[in-house]
Structure 1
């Protein structure tokens, strides 16, 4: 425990974001800044402050930190050709407590500082503290009081969860501050988790079941609190905290199972079609945003008051740079649901972890085909608008079909495709795919100016398709695509899912594994895997993503409408990627029959590479694999690997760019140096070098 003074650092109370608490959706409220803090001495004021807490979570998806602090530097994602947050992935000497600026070696001013999360979370905490301190005396209606307290405890618990997961022990401020804060204490990681768990337990107790009070399906409920309470309990009992957590483990795991079971029973079954969670997003506030599987989301809509500094920018980060490497055959625009900022490139692991034949989630997640929307002057192959302009074949390591083929980008590829034997099977152009019909023909002769394959001769060759230093030609994921944008670089309008019931099943499965109860764990895993199977009647070559929202976009007129039709072909490369599979609409089977022995082949390969041999290690790492298959790109991979003590091993195995990741250092983020430098001793003197070192995480 380190008690120090600080001059000039104040914990601010968030501005009230709304003028009333009875709207159907908190994002419909007008931004109101006219109230003083005295307004919070009234029941209405406190209830409106509780509504405003929903605004704090939107910060997480408003800029480059969305992926930097959650996805980079793991087994799932590495850098594309844009290196804005490269240091978060490589862990080189630019990643440290001094931030990430051009002066410290960042490539541009958009890089994420380790201080970003540290600074922002305390805004929501300050608002929660105000509610918790005042509610008992200000609000006499017990139901209303419990409602606002539930929101306040949840917000404080969630924000401290995020801080503790990233930094370890943090400053625990649990009472309102109205003047300059002069004394800070950095609590231990153990005490920080105690606070997180206490707050989330209080929220779980106070929420009125699945009663929606301040919004629609995105509203926090008892099931939301249960989910994050389980995550916090599991975090405290996981490997990162083994130095001190032995006395908590059994009780924490059993409690986590109990609260997971509440959420699962309260919310019912998973939504039947995985595509409905992300791919079938048809526009602002569409029904798919209200699915009962969604436990928490950062809400966005078309209201002008909700755009701006923390608008949804996530559609920028997962697509390859298709407008550049395609030789301008595929031009970007609002008609394609993503921007090609090439931030997050999937690793070899993120493709190989799937059963490419039987796991529908792979083909409902990866975008593998772009249509030609701009014809070029040089067109020796007679390409037409709407022909496939970019084709990404996601084959497996043991596939030899494409060993003699030449793949690449338009600028260099034309001379290599004169031999019909080395052209791709062709699509039936003009007959668009539907969810239940349409497939590739078997005729050879289709030419595509840009094509990629994952493996040739058993070697992973996808990183070879480069423009400069890093790969900018890869299959991105579609979970953030948004065709409702009003401008090419405008804010997205779709909600960002932060928690859903499938993860709750995976959390409970992990708890069972930690108790050595592999049968119940397998049952929970099979619930998730069952939804991931192909259903009878599904067209496996059909593809859709949030670009489809453009159908209802006011911009969908004239040339824009034509570009939408030509760019989004509703097809994937399932049959090209699995050349031995005949066209079929039969159901597939992903169900486990033995656990943790005799696991699927793709898992056995991964477990062998990372050296997981004991039943426990096999089971835990299988769940980490299953989390990828189910939750790829859903903003918590770094946290999960850090928690389970697998971050370094799995990252070294599958992320070649993470060259400097170090055991005993990078499982925690650095405490911001600017914060430490602002601290003073009780007598007003500056901290010594040793005192500052004591505040910092190890080896920074």
Structure 2
């Protein structure tokens, strides 16, 4: 079967095989090719499924978090981040086109784009499908192609742009301006998807009209087309049956992946034969709780890769007395599952082993507690600080993001999580509409949108205290509110870049990155493997500064 690969991704070497003719002689009467297989209804549907498959190479994977979560105002490197690709967060001189994380993201998106191009170009010729079905298949592929290009232009700026399937070897590439990619690719692709997709998919996980409207709202917000962004976000809010879940913590119940707030998610599965590497999000936001003498690593608490640690700024954003998103987002209490001793006191299974609090505690109280009592004194979490405060133990002590915990994995060391990865959910559409309204000087309308999200977030009985007024809405509030609602959801770097606040906020709130970040870091380096492949290097050069 032909392997249709983008030259931007890889060159496939085909090995030659031989067999002893006196043992076996084959005379194949037909071989499956892309031309023949994709010409059938089943073949083109399988081709479309392959477009979806590439989503799993980004969402729920380490690379996506390094490129969207760290190097921002809300997360810095934890212990595992320091020892695994620290340069992305730190914007160090070693942030180069040879970075494996950056290269993987580039490669996988172009694999997905070329597969989408193949489906889009071949679907009209398939016999045995209605025109409606053909348009639906094309629309799904165009949505995903738009999503891949949206990531690419935000991460890299001007990139290679093609809407045609590449077959065989191509050795040249173009650097198409970002505006052209939006105008000729991303926006028309999403408009086509809106016009040709159903409000509800026949198979859960397929993209839909509201998902397309939601993604285009995000795109228009990024481009500064405020009225269009608000219109699209408002349509998703009002025209369909999506509902905010309450309490906030219900969103992250792994048995509740399919719920009324999810507009669209990338699908994973419990079947190890089809799940591939799985959703690995559960690994990255957890500290090494098993250093505690009364806890042995287990399924419920997860396998702690310790990649990403909250910054002081993120910790101080929450008021746990009225905002349920603190407890709904962060795990702050661990229970002993092994008998041991802490501060001279016997701790048995079922007792509290670790408790994290977002405020200072007197040393005498900490030293007398029958558990690790980890406090927050607003010392820089990445600095040299005591063992029992945020960032202590060489960046090993911090509240764990529990949005991605996966206690249904097959073993305590399994990395192939089964949780779906939510890409678009209703709360974000309220945030988009609120920001877009504020940008149009409609502060009262903006406050109303934000208050819907804040009412859901309120601890019962504290709803009135969570309300804001029109006078409260400004850019800092918007960024603060998005940080509280969307912790770890693969969007913060994009938010800071599109609002022109990346350099300012990183310098202020991420002390690991502050000395190094520069204007050049508004885009990533082009992968060196890409630069090495092209035969027109004068036309396809590295991003400035790298």
With the length of structure 1 as denominator, give the TM-score of the two structures: 0.69
Q: Where does residue 46 of structure 2 map in the other structure?
A: 48
Q: Where does residue 453 of structure 1 map in the other structure?
A: 375
User: 1 CA distance for matches of 2:312 and 2:342?
Assistant: 34
SS of the residue 1:130 aligns to: helix
Q: Where does residue 514 of structure 1 map in the other structure?
A: 439
SS of the residue 2:464 aligns to: coil
User: 2 CA distance for matches of 1:509 and 1:205?
Assistant: 25
Within a 5 Å distance, the mapping from 1:117-266 to structure 2 comes to 117-138=105-126, 140-194=129-183, 195-208=185-198, 210-213=199-202, 215-216=203-204, 218-237=205-224, 252-265=225-238, 266=240
- How many aligned positions are there? 512
Answer yes or no: is 1:321 the counterpart of 2:283: no
- In the TM superposition, what whole-angstrom CA distance separates every residue of 1:234-260 from its partner, at most 9, and x where no partner exists? 2122xxxxxxxxxxxxxx322222221
User: 1 CA distance for matches of 2:260 and 2:393?
Assistant: 44
User: 1 CA distance for matches of 2:132 and 2:381?
Assistant: 60
User: 2 CA distance for matches of 1:587 and 1:148?
Assistant: 47
Superposition RMSD in Å: 2.4
Q: Where does residue 380 of structure 1 map in the other structure?
A: 344
1:35 deviation in Å?
Answer: 4.9
In 2 relative to 1, CA 462–667 (structure 1 residues): closer, same or farther, beyond 3 Å? closer
1:133 deviation in Å?
Answer: 1.1
Q: Where does residue 25 of structure 1 map in the other structure?
A: none
User: 2 CA distance for matches of 1:592 and 1:497?
Assistant: 27
Task: Tell me if structure 2 keeps the 8 A contact 1:354–1:629.
Answer: yes
User: 2 CA distance for matches of 1:524 and 1:470?
Assistant: 41
1:377 deviation in Å?
Answer: 6.8
Task: Tell me if structure 2 keeps the 8 A contact 1:505–1:525.
Answer: yes
With the length of structure 2 as denominator, give the TM-score of the two structures: 0.88
User: 2 CA distance for matches of 1:518 and 1:35?
Assistant: 60
User: 1 CA distance for matches of 2:89 and 2:272?
Assistant: 34
1:592 deviation in Å?
Answer: 3.2
SS of the residue 2:356 aligns to: strand
SS of the residue 2:263 aligns to: strand
User: 2 CA distance for matches of 1:660 and 1:201?
Assistant: 42
1:51 deviation in Å?
Answer: 2.9
Q: Where does residue 557 of structure 1 map in the other structure?
A: none
Q: Where does residue 611 of structure 1 map in the other structure?
A: none
Task: Tell me if structure 2 keeps the 8 A contact 1:260–1:507.
Answer: yes
Within a 5 Å distance, the mapping from 1:367-516 to structure 2 comes to 367-376=331-340, 380-395=344-359, 402-405=361-364, 407=366, 416-417=367-368, 423=369, 447-448=370-371, 450-455=372-377, 464-466=385-387, 470-490=394-414, 491-516=416-441
User: 2 CA distance for matches of 1:74 and 1:290?
Assistant: 30
In 2 relative to 1, CA 507–211 (structure 1 residues): closer, same or farther, beyond 3 Å? same
User: 2 CA distance for matches of 1:461 and 1:52?
Assistant: 42
- In the TM superposition, what whole-angstrom CA distance separates every residue of 1:390-443 from its partner, at most 9, and x where no partner exists? 111122xxx7xx345364xxxxxxxx43xxxxx4xxxxxxxxxxxxxxxxxxxx
Task: Tell me if structure 2 keeps the 8 A contact 1:73–1:89.
Answer: yes
Q: Where does residue 94 of structure 1 map in the other structure?
A: 94
1:43 deviation in Å?
Answer: 2.6
Structure 1 spans left out of the alignment, 5+ residues? 1-6, 14-33, 100-111, 238-251, 408-415, 418-422, 424-446, 536-585, 600-617, 682-686
1:115 deviation in Å?
Answer: 1.4
Q: Where does residue 322 of structure 2 map in the other structure?
A: 358
User: 1 CA distance for matches of 2:60 and 2:323?
Assistant: 32
SS of the residue 1:270 aligns to: coil
Shifted more, 379-388 versus 165-174: the winner is 379-388
Answer yes or no: is 1:331 the counterpart of 2:296: yes
Within a 5 Å distance, the mapping from 1:57-72 to structure 2 comes to 57-61=55-59, 63-72=61-70
Task: Tell me if structure 1 keeps the 8 A contact 2:158–2:178.
Answer: yes
Task: Tell me if structure 2 keeps the 8 A contact 1:11–1:181.
Answer: no
In 2 relative to 1, CA 460–289 (structure 1 residues): closer, same or farther, beyond 3 Å? same
Q: Where does residue 72 of structure 2 map in the other structure?
A: 74
Q: Where does residue 467 of structure 2 map in the other structure?
A: 592
SS of the residue 2:79 aligns to: coil
Q: Where does residue 348 of structure 1 map in the other structure?
A: 312
1:67 deviation in Å?
Answer: 1.5
- In the TM superposition, what whole-angstrom CA distance separates every residue of 1:109-164 from its partner, at most 9, and x where no partner exists? xxx43211111001111121112112223255122112101111101101101111
User: 1 CA distance for matches of 2:456 and 2:314?
Assistant: 19
Of the three residues 303, 317, 325, the one matched with 2:271 is: 303
Answer yes or no: is 1:698 the counterpart of 2:533: no
In 2 relative to 1, CA 465–636 (structure 1 residues): closer, same or farther, beyond 3 Å? farther
Task: Tell me if structure 2 keeps the 8 A contact 1:317–1:344.
Answer: yes
